[in-house]
A and B are shown apart, each in its own frame.
Chain A
Amino acid sequence: MSLTEETSARAVLPDAEAFTLIDASGAAVPIDRRRGYELPDVEVLKELYRRMVIARRWETQVTALTRQGRLSTYPSARGQEASEIGTVMAMQETDWLFPTYRDSIAVGTRGVVTAELLSGFRGDWHSGWDPKEHRIAPQATPLATQVLHAVGLAMAAKLKGDPIATVTFIGDGATSEGDAHEGFNFAGVWQTPTVFIIQNNQFAISVPIAKQTRARMLADKAVGYGIPGYHVDGNDIAAVFAVVTEALDRARSGGGPTMIECLTYRIEPHTNSDDPSRYRDAADVEAWKARDPIARLERYLTTEGALDDELRASIEEESERIAAAMREAMNREPAIDPMELFEHVYNEPRASLLEQRDALKAELEDAHDAGAVS
Chain B
Amino acid sequence: MAKTAKPLTMAAALNSAMRDALDEDPNVVIFGEDVGQLGGVFRVTSGLLAEFGEDRVWDSPLAESGIIGTAIGMAMYGMRPIVEMQFDAFSYPAFEQIVSHVAKMRNRTRGRVSLPIVIRIPTSGGIGGVEHHSDSSEAYWTHTPGLTVVTPSNPADAYSMLREAIASDDPVIFLEPKSHYWMKEGTEQSGPPLPMNKAAVVREGTDVTLISYGPTVAVALKTAELAEEEDLSVEVIDLRSLSPFDDETVCASVRKTSRSVVIHEAAQFGGYGAEVAARVTEREFYHLAAPILRITGADIPFPAPLLEKYYLPTPERILNAMSTWEWDD
Q: Interface of A with B (CB < 8 Å)?
A: 96, 125-127, 130-132, 137-138, 142, 145, 147-157, 159-160, 166, 178-179, 182-183, 185-186, 189, 340, 343-348, 350-352
Contacts and interface: CB of A to CB of B under 8 A. Distances in A.
A347 B146 CA distance: 10
A335 to B, nearest CB: 12
Contacts of B111: 343-344
Given A345-B146, A347-B169, A149 B73 contact: yes
A78 B323 CA distance: 71
A159 B29 CA distance: 10
Interface string B37-66: 000000000000000000100001101011
B3 interface: no
B284 interface: no
Interface in B148-199: 148, 168-170, 197
A186 B66 contact: yes
A96 B74 CA distance: 12
Top 7 closest pairs, chain A to chain B, by CB: A152-B73, A148-B69, A152-B70, A182-B66, A153-B73, A156-B77, A126-B108
Contacts of B114: 347
B123 interface: no
9 contacts: A131-B76, A152-B76, A153-B77, A159-B29, A160-B77, A186-B70, A344-B111, A345-B107, A346-B170
A346 B148 contact: yes
Contacts of A142: 96, 100-101
A185 B69 CA distance: 13
A157 B68 CA distance: 17
Contacts of B245: 352
Given A148-B97, A350-B244, A179 B148 contact: no
A132 B113 contact: yes
A151 B73 contact: yes
Interface in B88-126: 93, 96-97, 100-101, 104-114
A347 B164 CA distance: 14
A148 B72 contact: yes
Contacts of B107: 126, 344-345
Query: Contact size class for B?
Result: 35 or more
Contacts of A96: 77
A347 B77 CA distance: 17
Contact of B244 (A185, A186, A352): A352
A351 B241 CA distance: 14
B145 interface: yes
Contacts of B225: none
A138 B61 CA distance: 26
A348 B170 contact: yes
A182 B69 contact: yes
Given A149-B76, A185-B63, A346 B69 contact: no
Contacts of A127: 108-110
Given A152-B72, A155-B74, A179-B65, 6 more contacts: A138-B108, A142-B101, A151-B69, A155-B70, A156-B76, A185-B63
A166 B93 CA distance: 25
Contacts of A125: 108, 110
Contacts of B76: 131, 137, 149, 152-153, 156
B301 interface: no
Contacts of B169: 347
A152 B73 CA distance: 4
A356 to B, nearest CB: 11
Contacts of B226: none
A183 B29 contact: no
A240 B79 CA distance: 32
Residue among A147, A150, A178, A346 facing the most chain B CB atoms (10 A cut-off): A346
A152 B110 contact: no
B61 A182 contact: yes
A159 B71 CA distance: 13
Contacts of B247: 351-352
Contacts of B108: 125-127, 138
Interface string B231-254: 000000000000011010000000
B75 to A, nearest CB: 8
Contact of A150 (B73, B93, B110, B113): B73
A146 to B, nearest CB: 8
B74 A344 contact: no
Contacts of A151: 69-70, 73
Residue among B29, B55, B79 facing the most chain A CB atoms (10 A cut-off): B79
B213 to A, nearest CB: 18
B66 A145 contact: no
Nearest to B73: A152
Contacts of A147: 69
B195 to A, nearest CB: 10
B78 interface: yes
A148 B101 CA distance: 11
B90 to A, nearest CB: 14
A370 B195 CA distance: 44
Contacts of A156: 73-74, 76-79
Nearest to A140: B101
Contacts of A148: 65-66, 68-70, 72-73, 97
B234 to A, nearest CB: 27
A152 B12 CA distance: 29
